[in-house]
Structure 1
Amino acid sequence: MAIAKHQSLSGRSPLHEFLAPDAIAIVGASADPTKRGYKAMVGLIKDGYAGDIYPINPKADRVLGVKAYPSLEAIPGKIDLALICTPAATLPGILAECGKKGVKGAVVLASGFKEVGPEGAALEEQMMTAARAGGVRIIGPNTSGMFNLHKQVNLLALSNVKPGHVGFISQSGNMLLSLVLEAEHNRHVGFSTYVGPGNQVDIGFNDYLRYLGEDENTHVATLYVEGFRDGERFLEVARDVTAVKPVVVYKSGSTEMGAKAASSHTGALAGSYAMTVDLLRQVGVSVVQNSDEILPVAEGLAQLQKAPGKRIAVIADGGGQATIASDRLSEAGLELAELSDATKQRLREVLFAQASVINPVDVAGSTDADPALLATCMEIVADDEGVDAIFLVGMFGGYSIRFAEHLLGDEMRGAETMIELAHRIDKPLVIYSLYAPVKPPPLRRLHEAGLPVYSSLELAVRVLAALGERGIYLKGAAEQVPAAPVVPHADQLAVFAKAQAEGRDLFEVEAKALLRSHGISVAEEILVESADELGNVAAHFGDQALVMKVVSKDILHKSDAGGVKLFLRGEVALKDAHEQIMRSCKAYLPTAEIKGVLVTPMAKKGTEIIIGVSRDPIFGPVLMFGLGGIFVEILEDVAFRAIPLSRHAAESMVNQIKARKILEGARGEAAVDKAALVDLLLKVSSIVSAYPQLAELDLNPVLAYDDGYAIVDARIIVNRKDAI
């Protein structure tokens, strides 16, 4: 069984100094049971905290039998962590005391800072000034608190919380309570460290994740996130941590990206929940969609770590549940493994003749008299090289309850066989049992040995999906190296500088020139500033069908303004089209400044693709890929990745979209050249990395062919903030 031996990440987080404290001060300690200063004291005393406890209360000599002190300064020993239970207005002064005393970290429970308005923002700045001056790191403010159960630090005074290996960071205290109650009910999931990050004025999700990645008591880092503060940094840390242990994230709602004028398709779609999920998965994070998946997936990953792939062998003792399992596996993007002839023959030798040995395997009553036979079947399919994980579905653990008490011994024997098998092979065993809520002895034995058992078939499948995703990610980790950025060209930098100085975006001809200068295939085009030039243009292109488009910094949507004419041939057609475009555009926007028209050969019919880039305020530069037309406008069938892009990431984008079958050649159409699209994505990524002046980019549409592509329209929005 793949239980990880976790190695430390490079460097060491300073959070260890106070998230695993040897001495704690409770500022505002109280004997009043309604106060947090009371609950924290009770939690430490009840759990047997071995370190020093220093209650701070100037009106009491002792609090709950522990000697109290009037101030931090009066404490004789060193303090690693201060829990501050006093109102917001007291924080600047208390944190100044913390700094003088050498306190490394402070848990600030109070609210009433930036979130309440200008006065709160001013108070927050005073608090942070005092904290920085004294070198004190702040958890919160407005935090639910923290615990480290392996150090018996329980500042929330939660009862019946079992120490274990699930680290949890949550912006919701109620979400923690929900998981604690769920774990208490299950009686087999335990926690290592919990922190409520609160307003994250100092320590953010990336800092906590780094700590959990280094903590030897944490086997899986689990996060409930409402909003990231520094998404780029979080992705960097997550990439490091997922290399050594699993990370599970439940992201509620859409990411709060702030007010933003989205002037492109990419800008309109960026900042979405879907984008956040794609970026997290890009760095190996397991994203769960529903809150009831958090603990099961965290437990499964903590205990089983990964599967080599997504090919699942199902062993079932009922045909109905075998079918349901198959449906759920397919919906989750998993595959039913194709069992070898040798495997099927071995199964036939131990099962009744009426049993089905084609995956899903239905034992058809063969195990009613000997439930240990289920373990034998698991051993057989585990030997099959075409199987990545084994899924036991049915009533194991309940045969002695359902049929005869004497079967308990057979089930216990089967459980021991499964445990031995799990420790011998690389393939995870995931078990769904009807009797899991009853917790019979065979299932308790499996839990004790580190084999999770699920009472929901759907949740078990979600765990299998997470195991497969993690295994595939780790297998491709060596291919995650981003492509090298290109060196910016001086003439292109000059184009950006000119556009910035004029307060405009790049003209289409300039955008395409930038792409062409960095090796992207773009059709020949001519900028025509006067109708007198059209005769030479017609002669240059000969009999080719041409397209003419207006070039104006003021007209963003050319077609709406009547600024596009298609299928033009010859000088007369070009001059007529030029006259119509000028007339239509002036009627559409009389004040528009028109630089001219762009003339280029018509592209042949192909599959419409959209490629875009947006500089997200939280996650930085993000690249989008999808089918164009209605797929982007209505279905929003797109994939996102953070820039810079690796080849592996680019390939996964192309294969992720739901409409990928169209790329593979639907209804007799030729498959498109995926390799050319991947190369285009990588080149766009490199260009964006090289030119910070580029704020947004839309290539829409790109027409994909079986032997390349054609970029029909290109738009680049310039970053005004970097204007010279």
Structure 2
Amino acid sequence: MGIVTSSAARSALHDFLAPDAIAVVGASQDPTKRGYKAMVGLVKDGYQGAIYPINPKADQILGVKAYASLAELPGPVDLALICTPAPSVPELLRECGKAGVKGAVILASGFGETGPDGARLEQELLMAAREAGVRVVGPNTSGMFNLHKKVNLLALDKVKPGDIGIVSQSGNMLLSLALEAQHNGQVGFSTYVGPGNQTDIGFDDYLRYLGEDEHTRVATLYVEGFRDGRRFLEVARDVTAVKPVVVYKSGATEMGQKAASSHTGALAGSYAMTVDLLRQAGVSVVQYSDEILPVAEGLGLLQQARGKRVAVLADGGGQATIASDRLAEAGLELAELSDTTRERLAEILLPQASLANPVDVAGSSDTKPSLLAECMAILTEDDNVDSVFLVGMFGGYSIRFAEELLGDEMRGAESMIELSRRTDKPLVIYSLYTPIKPPALRRLHEAGLPVYYSIEHAVRVLAALGERGHYLSACADHEIPPAVTPDTGIQAVFEQARLQQRDLLEPEAKALLRTHGIQVPAETLVRSPADLAGIAAKFGDQALAMKVVSKDILHKSDAGGVKLNLRGEPALIEAYTAIMESCRTHVPDAEIEGVLVTPMARKGVEVIVGVSRDPIFGPVLMFGLGGIFVEVLEDVAFRAIPLSRHDARSMVAQIKARKILSGVRGEAAIDQDALVDLLLKISSLVEAYPELGELDLNPVIAYSDGYAVVDARVIVNSGKADVEVEQ
């Protein structure tokens, strides 16, 4: 299973991550050295390619002829494993280049992670690699393996080949997954790589390789920091179209959080933002480390569900209730079973069985556990059901009740296997007997049905299957609308602001929005009391708001720069005078352009729309509940720009306050289509104006018939629009 990437060229990583000849530089006869362990892994696992130990003091290592240097090698080498100390690495990479080596895995630490001297050595390493034409894994990496090529440079025992590819910045996390796979007994791996410092090759490169690798059915990544988050998202969109991608992101990405004075900038760079952006690209994000392997296994075996409607089949009420609770918390639904389904279940179950979802067989299977397979078959034939979740003690009936039930349990297992082959609906099984691996459960697992010892793990798998199915079904809605054409007048305003080293004034920011079709109420800039003549009449009988306009006054209310519910010219003059006096008291040196007079916005729901340029992921759009508590409540959603219509709709649907948008306590429902249109216009606008650094529309008042942008702030980029930095 491979992908078609945006580039027609196949990833160069195949040339050395699936090597036909390997040199172990620093190969050793000391069992405590990595150069010895790597040789053991290659020899013990039966690697079929050429092995070249490099050690000037040895004639052979583990029975394999050794060489004094790379220059003495008798044939071409795809991969060099460099096990020597950090200072030796740059020169060894130059030697690799002369020997025609395509890639090098550098185990040594002592580079950028140690301080300025290490950073200089790492830069020297990179320059040497580029001059030599050698790609670098690491440095400071735990190594790699490709089990289908019998390349085991970590010398891990009892790790079986399979279809889960792993990239992990933690060697201990890889070890944890390997041990968990051994206990599971059915999970195997294709390729593992520890990216280390990502000096040359980043997560996006590794993901692309796994996407193209025919032996990898699901790509699994443990990520501490992205080198180029935006490029990773682009590659992830390509890969997730054809195979699942699972990511565990550690930390709260504090290094990705830029100092910013806007609400959006303050919230951007968070862990929540990273998760939203990954999910936008179709990635399955797991929250807990013990979910990594179960979700990877489940997605690898089952790929997707067409929706989020789950039928729960249980042989006990308690666990059925627990399963229902966890499903609801995971955003899944209990399927509404059809009358036909209930009637068919009633024909084979005892009268006391519950035929509502969850279905509780209530003792019906105690003497015939294969009955559960019959129930599963009935449930899969219901058009209202997307997945079937078996919960309880299947596999343990012969242990709990009578040994004579083993034969019927095995027949039930075979029926479930046959059912899984004729239905496209996922069958997920939780059994409390999973830890002791009874025969029926072993048979299910061997045949490719996921069996879990935790209801929570099983539900997380069901959620991932539903999320992936939903993402793939919306592919037609993932098209990105074209960017707007920048207005020359607005570009001139940006240039003037940049030269004056200031941000856009509020009237300028709103002019930007109006120019591109965004709904902004009418307003007038007043520079003196004399300008207030006729203003009240201009806006009719509406109550008015007045706000100071100054590049030096960011928080207008705190400086007394806002007056509300004004009617009539005397009230306007009095408000103008009070604003000027208060602002000059609070900020004596402020340059005040005047005051902005606009009609008071009618009652609606306050939301916020913002943009920041994240140093890892580039331009990011935020949407959520607005007002003064946005940073406290943090009920917001993030998407990378540019947005598709699906992205915009999913943002509105994601926030916890979405019920408010649908109308509560007699209030009219908000025009969500108008909000989606606003988000798409902002996305397009940001693409058109790289000068726009941050944007805050807070609040935007959402109505049943549109919206109104009440306040707008635009922070101007002082230099380059998108700055890529390492995290």
Structures share a fold, TM > 0.5?
Answer: yes
Structure 2 partner of 1:604: 602
Q: Aligned to 2:190, which of 186, 189, 192?
A: 192
C-alpha deviation, 1:566, in angstroms: 0.7
The correspondence of residues 289-304 of structure 1 with structure 2, limited to 5 A, is 289-304=287-302
Q: Aligned to 1:496, which of 491, 494, 497?
A: 494
C-alpha deviation, 1:536, in angstroms: 3.3
C-alpha deviation, 1:363, in angstroms: 0.6
Structure 1 partner of 2:204: 206
Give 2:674's aligned amino acid: A
Structure 2 partner of 1:92: 90
3-state DSSP class of the match of 2:255? coil
Give 1:289's aligned amino acid: Q
Distance in 2, Cα, partners of 1:118 & 1:329: 50
Give 1:570's aligned amino acid: G
The correspondence of residues 644-659 of structure 1 with structure 2, limited to 5 A, is 644-659=642-657
Structure 1 partner of 2:697: 699
Distance in 1, Cα, partners of 2:104 & 2:297: 30
In structure 2, relative to structure 1, the CA distance for the partners of 1:291 and 1:722 (3 Å cut) is closer
Give 2:563's aligned amino acid: K
The correspondence of residues 191-590 of structure 1 with structure 2, limited to 5 A, is 191-258=189-256, 260-590=258-588
C-alpha deviation, 1:63, in angstroms: 1.0
Distance in 1, Cα, partners of 2:522 & 2:613: 29
C-alpha deviation, 1:409, in angstroms: 1.0
Structure 1 moving runs of 4+ over 4 Å:
5-10
Give 1:386's aligned amino acid: N
The correspondence of residues 95-244 of structure 1 with structure 2, limited to 5 A, is 95-244=93-242
Give 1:121's aligned amino acid: A
Give 1:571's aligned amino acid: E
The C-alpha deviation readout for 1:595-638, integer Å capped at 9, x for no partner, is 11111111111111011000000000000000113651322010
Distance in 1, Cα, partners of 2:420 & 2:119: 54
Structure 1 partner of 2:621: 623
C-alpha deviation, 1:126, in angstroms: 1.5
Structure 2 partner of 1:30: 28
TM-score, reference length from structure 1: 0.98
The correspondence of residues 19-58 of structure 1 with structure 2, limited to 5 A, is 19-58=17-56
The C-alpha deviation readout for 1:294-342, integer Å capped at 9, x for no partner, is 0000000000000010000011011111111111111111111000000
Contact 1:33-1:39 at 8 Å conserved across structures: yes
Contact 1:558-1:564 at 8 Å conserved across structures: yes
Contact 1:547-1:602 at 8 Å conserved across structures: yes
Between stretches 579-588 and 528-537, larger displacement belongs to 528-537
Contact 2:312-2:357 at 8 Å conserved across structures: yes
Contact 1:257-1:618 at 8 Å conserved across structures: no
Distance in 1, Cα, partners of 2:540 & 2:317: 69
Give 1:146's aligned amino acid: M
C-alpha deviation, 1:722, in angstroms: 4.4
The C-alpha deviation readout for 1:473-507, integer Å capped at 9, x for no partner, is 00001211112110001001000000001100000
The C-alpha deviation readout for 1:535-566, integer Å capped at 9, x for no partner, is 13233223321111100000000000000111
The C-alpha deviation readout for 1:636-665, integer Å capped at 9, x for no partner, is 010000000011110000000111111111
C-alpha deviation, 1:7, in angstroms: 5.2
Give 1:253's aligned amino acid: G
Distance in 2, Cα, partners of 1:62 & 1:557: 74
Distance in 1, Cα, partners of 2:257 & 2:331: 36
Give 1:325's aligned amino acid: A
Distance in 2, Cα, partners of 1:125 & 1:655: 45
Distance in 2, Cα, partners of 1:529 & 1:255: 45
The C-alpha deviation readout for 1:645-691, integer Å capped at 9, x for no partner, is 01111000000011111111112211111011111111011000110
Distance in 2, Cα, partners of 1:457 & 1:465: 12
Distance in 2, Cα, partners of 1:162 & 1:152: 10
Gap runs ≥5 in structure 1: none
Contact 1:375-1:415 at 8 Å conserved across structures: yes
Q: Aligned pairs, how many?
A: 719
3-state DSSP class of the match of 1:700? strand
Contact 2:258-2:269 at 8 Å conserved across structures: no
Tell me if 1:719 matches 2:717. Answer: yes
Distance in 2, Cα, partners of 1:129 & 1:43: 31
Contact 1:542-1:570 at 8 Å conserved across structures: no
3-state DSSP class of the match of 2:94? helix
Q: Name the Cα RMSD after superposition.
A: 1.1
3-state DSSP class of the match of 1:422? helix
Between stretches 568-577 and 263-272, larger displacement belongs to 568-577
Contact 1:611-1:626 at 8 Å conserved across structures: yes
3-state DSSP class of the match of 1:515? helix
Distance in 1, Cα, partners of 2:696 & 2:274: 20
Distance in 2, Cα, partners of 1:228 & 1:407: 53
Gap runs ≥5 in structure 2: 722-727
The C-alpha deviation readout for 1:569-596, integer Å capped at 9, x for no partner, is 2221111111111100000010111111
Distance in 1, Cα, partners of 2:454 & 2:429: 10
In structure 2, relative to structure 1, the CA distance for the partners of 1:542 and 1:630 (3 Å cut) is closer
C-alpha deviation, 1:403, in angstroms: 1.1
C-alpha deviation, 1:257, in angstroms: 3.2
3-state DSSP class of the match of 1:716? strand
Give 1:277's aligned amino acid: V
In structure 2, relative to structure 1, the CA distance for the partners of 1:492 and 1:470 (3 Å cut) is same
Distance in 1, Cα, partners of 2:185 & 2:81: 29
In structure 2, relative to structure 1, the CA distance for the partners of 1:360 and 1:630 (3 Å cut) is farther
3-state DSSP class of the match of 1:621? strand
Distance in 1, Cα, partners of 2:445 & 2:208: 29
Give 2:502's aligned amino acid: R
Aligned-pair identity (%): 75
The C-alpha deviation readout for 1:429-479, integer Å capped at 9, x for no partner, is 000011111111111111111111001111001000000000010000121
Distance in 2, Cα, partners of 1:373 & 1:155: 48
3-state DSSP class of the match of 2:148? helix
3-state DSSP class of the match of 1:721? coil
3-state DSSP class of the match of 1:78? coil
Contact 1:13-1:210 at 8 Å conserved across structures: yes
Distance in 2, Cα, partners of 1:554 & 1:77: 69
Contact 2:256-2:614 at 8 Å conserved across structures: no
Distance in 1, Cα, partners of 2:681 & 2:506: 18
Distance in 2, Cα, partners of 1:70 & 1:633: 62
